[in-house]
Amino acid sequence: MEGLKEEVAKNILFFRSKKGISRKELAQKINVTVASISHWENARNSMDMDTLHKICNVLDVSITDMFGRFATTSVEAYSSDEKNLIFKVRKLNELGKRYVEKQVNYALIQDEYIKKSQNIKQAW
């Protein structure tokens, strides 16, 4: 498992790229050097909590997101693909979120059906 500094480094890069902000833009917005951003993204240095809070505000994520967890009860961090899907769903209005929920439920039912079908075939 990665250390916290490495997780934050990976997520600064992930969320900055996702938002389409360059290192230079992020550095300007929080009044640091581009080299500082580079060092943080490469886990060479860590920042203080105030700076991390500023980065989170610019990138529109929570500190929990930056630590690699989407809920305090989460045991494992989500993969980049899962994070990407979560952020896409978060951008939807309520109608869109309900539609996605129905589609996910449908996919789960189909997946369960396929698993049962495969188990029956294997039993033969």
Q: What is the pLDDT of residues 14-65, one digit of tens each?
A: 899 988 999 999 999 999 999 999 999 999 999 999 999 999 999 988 888 8
Q: What is the pLDDT of residue 124?
A: 65
Q: Which CATH number do you get for residue 30?
A: 1.10.260.40
Residue 21 lies in domain: 4-79
Which residue, among 23, 95, 3, 17, has the nearest Cα to 61 in the 3D structure?
17
Is 36 within 8 Å of 27 (Cβ atoms)?
A: yes
**Mean pLDDT to the nearest integer, 100-115:** 88
Supply the pLDDT for residue 117. Answer: 78
Residue 67 domain-assigned (yes or no):
yes
- Section 77-105 average pLDDT: 85
Say if residues 7 and 15 touch (Cβ distance below 8 Å).
no
pTM of structure: 0.56
Q: How many independent structural domains does the chain possess?
A: 2
| Same structural domain, 58 and 116 | no
Same domain, 14 and 64: yes
Sign of the CA dihedral running 6, 75, 86, 107: positive
- Domain membership of residue 86 (yes or no) is no
